[in-house]
Amino acid sequence: MADYINIKGVTIQYLDSDPPNPIIGQVWYNSTTQSFKGAGAGVGAWSSGGALNNTHGSNLGGAGTQTAGLAYGGYPSVTLSEEYNGSSWTEGNNLNTGRSSLAGSGQQTAAITAGGIIGNSTVSNASEEYDGTSWTAGGNIGTARNRGGMSGDSSAALFFGGISPPMQSLTELYNGSSWSEVADLNTARAGLGSAGTSTAALAISGGSAVVESWNGSAWTEISDVNTSRTNPGGGGITTAALVFGGEDPSGDSATTESWNGTSWTEVADLATARYNMARGNIGTSTLNLCAGGTPPATTATEEWTQPATATVSFDVS
């Protein structure tokens, strides 16, 4: 049998404690625990976060990050807006136009939302920008619709899909003041998950398993998600994204899938299955946030954390 040094070109380190920041593939012997250990890819999990102050009914919008999140709107015509600091939600200044089924993206200090439903049936063309304190009116989208997907922030955003009715494949680009129509999605759909920026985005599921990637000028279909769903949460970038929850053919879902730029992999489920949560492009593939949702309407918040590495012990006998 070949020695480790002949296979890897290095010897196994003999340590009295685990290294503080091991890299994936690193192997060592811990003399205190008398065990061989190694570092592998971290495994993600959902944990309980601070509850929203209000249920927002359902179909609320979302943006931001796990430690600086934003949740707003809801059914019917809710104007409430809340900020998350990584442990609790605080009510902030209201939306100017109360509505549900909005799209959202951006940071807590540079967020944008567009479309939605006012009351029970009026489809909105309004967009609003959030600067960390107040919501102000942005330029109206060209085609009023709800349940669309969004990426980017208040200075440069992409709004795609949705339903007006009918189901839409339209994509509109925001330059910080006005919207212009650009290349359509290949598959018209609504209730999509989102990830990315205005020049590199993902349109995820939305009543089908289809996923499309935007390169700044055109949409290209890429690998499907494993579970088709409508109105999921999600976020990240085109090479590392997360989609979770939603309504699948069997009902409300807890399923979470991770994207590595090539394929989707099912990972740990949400503790509370739901859809219509604070839906938008939120967080990253390793740090994300799920807030609110139905059924029934809930204030529950969950935080997704996936460490870069995980230390494991193994038997070499």
Distance separating alpha carbons of residues 29 and 41, to the nearest angstrom: 19
Q: Per-residue DSSP letters for 16-61?
A: SS--SSPPTT-EEEETTTTEEEEEEE---EEEE-PPPSS--SS--E
Residue 22: the pLDDT is 79
Q: How far is CA 275 from the centre of its chain?
A: 13
State the pLDDT confidence band at 3, using cuts at 50, 70 and 90: low
Strand partners of residue 288:
304
Q: How many CA atoms lie within 13 A of 212 on its CB side?
A: 25
How is residue 11 annotated by DSSP?
A: P
Q: Which is more confidently placed, 130 or 1?
A: 130
pTM for the full predicted model? 0.88
Q: Cβ of 18: how many Cβ atoms within 10 Å? A: 14
Rounded CA-CA distance 78/134 in Å is 16
Q: What angle do CA 248, 249, 254 make, to 5 degrees?
A: 30
pLDDT digits (tens, 9 = 90+) for 150-188: 999 999 999 999 999 999 999 999 999 999 999 999 999
Do the bridges between strand 219-222 and strand 211-214 make them parallel or antiparallel, or are there none, so unpaired? Answer: antiparallel
Name residue 224's amino acid: D
Give the per-residue pLDDT at 137.
98
Mean pLDDT of 99-125: 97
The three-state DSSP-derived secondary structure of 206-244 is CCECCEEEECCCCEEEECCCCCCEECCEEEEECCEEEEE
